């Protein structure tokens, strides 16, 4: 409520009267541009402020009333849409249950999985909108029969008759041969010359993968920035206010027993994370220089051993891929089809086990052990995919090899007449194999292990126990699958659709595994740090997929008898052709300048200026945060000074005639604060009381805080500091 306009009986020298303060505050609110809805007043007071803001003696125009009403309706509709989106969000109830039972760290894995599903759906929508729908709507003219090339291939292998008995429909589906002539692969997309069509399907097909990668990069970077750990901004010495969690974590609106249980688990997990971080920080502070030197030497020794294992693993992947491609016509062809994915899966399964064993031999702290193992698991996972791509390029595109067919056609045309389809099939098989491995491990390993542990007794089964749900390992698995999807955007445009189905099923499989067959990780961690790590690994996978794609689009000759770019030396050559056909000479010269080396110098200067501004802004923000933290400390000190004043003014027990505030009835007639509940602005330290008699407000406290427009507000109410501020 607004304060009454009462005047004290005595005039205090040097202190404005309450009526003057009331008028000054009303003038400030009238001239303020803050929305009335956000002011901390009752509805009656807000109506008074609204009337004060109306022009005096001027009737509000109908247009202004309509515009104000429209803004109100738009705001309410926007809020209703946000509530509806939150209510209809994908897996919201399941994520709330997982977060309450197992903590925000494990919940962040499932949130990350939902984020990848949305990225795949957006990529699929982009490809369908700019490639598939125009291709079906425009019905471009038939490009004519494919080129009949006579290849001079010495020593070419002939298909053996024993191969055909293996080629049934199931194996065709698993290897991708059943979809060779569909829009799943590159070879099925064929159009006529560019001059015969208004809409360029070739340009849309070329730019769609690049746009998908750019969209995924922006989304991942935005999510990465939002998930930055708070301690990076607040400093290493920042300690979370546990007292605030103790007194303000419970939700008193809970009325259901199940929701109460979930909330209890959520609060317990938050305390575990805080205490674990405090314990790790204390252990790091207690280390001596000698201990740190010994740990550094052991780090070097273990990293060298693990590095040798990683080199051996990627060498095995290289030779497995090479052997599978060089023996395509053998009788064991179907087994060799899945040899590279099988070796990759075996390496990624045995690698973390060996890394963990080597790290445990050194008796590292749990935090160091997990971080070191995780770092090398990331290196192994991404290096295995990189070596798989390189081995395919060496076999199919003759990178680093000399072959007769490569000299004439730019790729191994004898064994791969449509090499884009061959690469797409390999990536398709790798994606299929990763999902089948996830299903098999969940129902053939984790489920039987849980049944044996629950139903059998003994030391061995007690030691074995349920499998631990390791968030980093599961994250690396889905990041590897997403990286494969990004690598296949050009060769297999509908691979995001396949990966979306896999991610949707993976969510329910992992949820069942977590709730029924596994136990939570023994090392709790914060969701912000885990989200930052997930996005960082995802960006590395995106970079791993973008580099080969950029090289293929700009430098590798397309297949001569399939696909959209049969008559081009490289897919990117369609861009200069369309520029020459559709732009005037001025536009062509402008684009030529943007793509030349002369434009790189002003671009570099502009980027340097932007980087300098960003660094300066970051440093200014850091200084502002430091000043605000100091100001917060000063405010708390000032509040404690006011508490001491209050203790001196209050009457002692048993003394009725002591100086100080009188009865509550007499205090009720005193003027109340116009802005109740607002803290006093920060100051360098406690201020001395003003000269002369002090004015006491309704709480019996002398106020020294400045009022509006710099005037001392002697009628402000006192607000006790919260637990978080103390």
Q: Pull the structure tokens for residue 536.
A: 């960082």
Q: 246-272 pLDDT, tens per residue?
A: 777 888 888 888 878 878 877 887 787
* pLDDT interval class at 678 (50, 70, 90): very low
Which of 169 and 379 is assigned the larger pLDDT? 379
**Would you call 444 helix, strand, or coil by DSSP?**
helix
Contact 228, 135 (CB under 8 A): no
Which of 510 and 575 is assigned the larger pLDDT? 510
pTM for the model = 0.71
**Would you call 518 helix, strand, or coil by DSSP?**
strand
Task: Name residues whose C-beta falls within 8 Å of residue 247's C-beta, 6 or more positions apart in sequence.
Answer: 723
Q: Pull the structure tokens for residue 310.
A: 């990683």
* pLDDT interval class at 512 (50, 70, 90): very high
CA-closest candidate to residue 305, choices 388, 362, 390, 368: 362
> Across residues 73-101, what is the average pLDDT?
79
Query: How far apart, in whole angstroms, are the C-alpha atoms of residue 271 and residue 317?
Result: 44
pLDDT at 273 over 60: yes
- The ranges assigned to domains in the chain are 20-52, 93-139+172-234+417-582, 587-637
pLDDT at 686 over 60: no
Query: How far apart, in whole angstroms, are the C-alpha atoms of residue 651 and residue 655?
Result: 7
pLDDT at 190 over 80: yes
Q: 618-674 pLDDT, tens per residue?
A: 889 888 888 888 888 888 888 888 888 888 887 665 554 444 444 444 443 333 333
Bridge partner list, 518: 467
Which of 21 and 176 is assigned the larger pLDDT? 176
DSSP 142: P
């Amino acid at each position: 409520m607004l304060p009454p306009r009462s005047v004290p009986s005595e005039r205090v020298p040097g202190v404005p009267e309450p009526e003057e303060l009331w008028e000054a505050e009303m003038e400030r609110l009238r001239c303020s541009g803050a929305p009335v809805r956000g002011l901390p007043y009752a509805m009656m007071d807000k109506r008074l402020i609204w009337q004060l803001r109306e022009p005096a003696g001027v009737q509000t125009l109908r247009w202004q009333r309509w515009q104000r009403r429209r803004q109100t309706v738009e705001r309410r509709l926007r809020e209703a849409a946000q509530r509806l989106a939150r209510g209809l969000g994908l897996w919201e109830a399941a994520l709330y249950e997982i977060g309450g039972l197992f903590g925000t760290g494990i919940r962040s894995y499932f949130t990350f999985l939902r984020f990848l599903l949305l990225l795949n759906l957006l990529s699929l929508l982009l490809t369908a909108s700019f490639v598939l729908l125009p291709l079906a709507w425009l019905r471009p003219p038939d490009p004519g029969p494919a080129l009949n090339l006579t290849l001079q291939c010495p020593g070419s292998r002939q298909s053996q008759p024993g191969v055909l008995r293996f080629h049934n429909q199931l194996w065709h589906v698993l290897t991708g041969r059943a979809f060779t002539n569909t829009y799943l692969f590159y070879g099925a997309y064929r159009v006529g010359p560019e001059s015969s069509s208004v809409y360029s399907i070739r340009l849309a097909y070329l730019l769609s993968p690049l746009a998908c990668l750019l969209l995924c990069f922006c989304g991942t970077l935005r999510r990465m920035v939002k998930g930055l750990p708070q301690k990076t901004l607040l400093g290493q010495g920042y300690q979370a206010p546990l007292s605030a969690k103790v007194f303000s974590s419970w939700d008193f609106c809970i009325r259901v027993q199940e929701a109460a249980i979930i909330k209890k688990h959520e609060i317990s997990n938050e305390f575990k994370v805080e205490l674990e971080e405090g314990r790790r920080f204390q252990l790091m502070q207690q280390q001596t220089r000698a201990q740190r030197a010994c740990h550094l030497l052991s780090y070097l020794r273990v990293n060298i051993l693990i590095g040798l294992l990683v080199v051996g693993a990627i060498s095995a992947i290289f030779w497995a891929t090479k052997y599978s491609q060089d023996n395509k016509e053998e009788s064991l062809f179907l087994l060799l089809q899945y040899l590279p994915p099988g070796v990759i899966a075996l390496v990624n399964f045995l690698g973390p086990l060996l890394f963990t064993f080597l790290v445990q031999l050194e008796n590292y702290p749990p935090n160091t052990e997990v971080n070191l193992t995780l770092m090398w698991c990331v290196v192994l996972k991404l290096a295995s995919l990189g070596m798989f791509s390189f081995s395919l390029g060496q076999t199919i595109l003759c990178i680093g090899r000399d072959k007769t067919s490569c000299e004439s056609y730019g790729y191994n045309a004898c064994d791969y007449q449509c090499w884009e389809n061959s690469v797409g099939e390999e990536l398709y098989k790798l994606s299929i194999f990763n999902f089948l491995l996830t299903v098999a491990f969940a129902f053939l390993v984790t489920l039987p292990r849980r049944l044996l542990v629950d139903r059998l007794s003994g030391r061995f089964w007690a030691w074995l126990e349920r499998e631990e749900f390791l968030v980093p390992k599961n994250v690396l698995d889905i990041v590897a699958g997403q990286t494969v999807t990004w690598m296949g955007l050009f060769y297999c445009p509908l691979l995001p659709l396949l990966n979306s189905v896999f991610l949707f099923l993976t969510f329910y499989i992992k949820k069942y595994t977590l709730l029924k067959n596994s136990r939570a990780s023994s090392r709790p961690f914060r969701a912000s740090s885990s989200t930052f790590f997930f996005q960082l690994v995802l960006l590395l996978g995106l970079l791993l997929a973008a580099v080969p794609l950029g090289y293929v689009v700009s430098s590798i000759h397309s297949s001569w008898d399939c696909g959209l770019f049969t008559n081009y030396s490289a897919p990117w050559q369609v861009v200069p052709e369309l520029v020459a056909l559709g732009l005037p000479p001025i536009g062509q010269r402008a684009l030529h300048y943007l793509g030349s080396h002369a434009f790189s110098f002003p671009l570099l200067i502009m980027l340097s200026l932007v980087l300098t501004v960003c660094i300066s802004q970051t440093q200014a923000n850091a200084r502002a945060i430091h000043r605000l933290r100091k100001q917060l400390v000063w405010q708390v000190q000032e509040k404690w000074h006011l508490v001491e004043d209050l203790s001196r003014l209050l009457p002692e027990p048993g003394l009725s005639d002591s100086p100080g505030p009188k009865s509550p009835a007499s205090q009720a007639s005193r003027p109340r604060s116009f802005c109740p509940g607002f803290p006093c602005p920060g100051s360098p330290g406690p201020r001395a009381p003003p000269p002369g008699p002090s004015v006491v407000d309704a709480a019996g406290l002398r106020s020294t805080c400045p009022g509006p427009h710099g005037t001392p507000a002697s009628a402000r109410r006192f607000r006790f500091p919260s637990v978080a501020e103390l």
